Amino acid sequence: MARAATTADAFNAVAEPRRRQILDALAEGERPVNELVGLLGLAQPQVSKHLRVLREVGAVDVRDEGRKRLYRLNGHALKPIHDWVKNYERSWSERFDELDVVLEDLKQKEQDDGDNDQ
């Protein structure tokens, strides 16, 4: 088997930096392809291809307006990523320090109880 397709899920789609750039740009509002081409400094075909990937994982929606195609962010598709990574937040966030102390105490208490059973 080869690497999973970029369109397999949001994780794979967003692994490409250009696609994150596109989402960041769309966070400020709807934009036509050419505007993204200007912002990214990438050729138009590549931008269209990246947008296709983002569409396939549901991270963007499209709307036709004359000859332009307006792309819009759909952040919902990124929730699974957030849900997964937030469980690791304790690794760097000080907000969890206090909670960790409490958990350590509980652990210690449990161990003491076990010792009493012996």
Partner DNA sequence: TTGACGTATTCCCATATGGGTATACGATTG
Partner DNA sequence: CAATCGTATACCCATATGGGAATACGTCAA
**Sign of CA pseudo-dihedral 98, 101, 107, 108:** negative
Q: Please report whether residue 74 would count as binding a second copy according to CB under 8 A.
A: yes
- CA neighbor of 81 nearest in space, from 9, 4, 8: 9
Name which of DNA, a second copy, none residue 2 binds, using a CB cut-off of 5 to 8 Å depending on partner kind. DNA
Name which of DNA, a second copy, none residue 73 binds, using a CB cut-off of 5 to 8 Å depending on partner kind. a second copy
Q: Which of residues 37-56 bind DNA (CB under 7 A)?
A: 37, 42-53
Name which of a second copy, DNA, none residue 115 binds, using a CB cut-off of 5 to 8 Å depending on partner kind. none
Q: Which of residues 7-46 bind a second copy (CB under 8 A)?
A: 11-12, 14-17, 20, 23-24, 27
- CA neighbor of 53 nearest in space, from 8, 114, 102: 8
Quick one: DSSP state of residue 59?
S
- CA neighbor of 73 nearest in space, from 19, 117, 37, 16: 19
Binding-site string for DNA from residue 7 to residue 36, where x marks contact by CB under 7 A and - marks none: x-------xx-x-------------xxx--
